Amino acid sequence: MDIFEAIRERRSVGLVKDEPVSREQIESILEAGNWAPSHHMTEPWRFIVMTGEGRNVLANAYADIALEQAGKSPGDYNEAEIRAKQQAKANRAPVVIAVAVAPSGSPQVNRVEEFAAVHAAVQNMLLAAHANGLGAIWRSGEPMYHPRMQQAFGLNEGEQVVALVYLGVPQLPLPVRTRKPVREKTVWIESDG
């Protein structure tokens, strides 16, 4: 698949089949992420791959965070119901990859650039998933930044989850989309000479 074709045709795919994804495909996607650019060649990305029962790590973290939030609001709540809902969120795809940033402690490294590098790694992964015939979606949201999520994935202080990449075989054909012409979003600054 041509890179420009992959860029134009890739879509966020939230509905995937409950079919296994091969380890070879997962490793190919991880390898694509590993080749993202990083300033000072710090390679600040970390990948936590969850399949099968391994997704319970994510489900339990989601549930603990939701229960904490429910406890802050008045009224009764059903813990089993909340846990079931969060379990379903973690099982929306046969593979979930938590992508985290582990910023370098070097004084010459800008922390913001470390996050940018990991975001580039995620984009590489999404393109690689598409090239492998898989659907993927980059999920985020407030629970992802909660300390309980960092604990669930064994992250050290200063490390942060930046993406939950859900992977699987798409249930439906990918939609065709269009974009506004790039010329409408571009300013050229050229020399006179």
Among 23, 22, 1, 20, residue whose Cα is nearest residue 10? 1
Distance from C-alpha of 157 to C-alpha of 100, rounded to nearest angstrom: 12
For 58, residues 6+ apart whose C-beta sits below 8 A from its C-beta are: 50, 89, 90, 96, 98, 152, 164
Known binding-site residue numbers: 10-12, 39, 138-140
Supply 187's token pair.
């300013």
Buried/exposed 101-133: b ≥16 CB within 10 Å, e otherwise: bbbbeeeebeeebbebbbbbbbbbbbbbbbbbe
Total number of residues shown for the chain: 193
Q: In what order do the strands lie in the sheet with 160-168?
A: 45-51, 95-101, 160-168, 135-139
The pLDDT score that the predictor gives to residue 15 is 93
The pLDDT score that the predictor gives to residue 2 is 87
Task: Give the tens place of pLDDT for each residue, 112-139.
Answer: 999 999 999 999 999 999 999 999 999 9
Known binding-site residue numbers for FMN: 10-12, 39, 138-140
pTM score: 0.92
Q: Which residues of the chain have pLDDT under 50?
A: none
Judge whether 71 and 143 are in contact, CB under 8 Å.
no
Task: Give the tens place of pLDDT for each residue, 26-37.
Answer: 999 999 999 999
The pLDDT score that the predictor gives to residue 76 is 66
Distance from C-alpha of 143 to C-alpha of 33, rounded to nearest angstrom: 23
Q: Which domains does the chain have, with CATH numbers?
A: 3-185 (3.40.109.10)
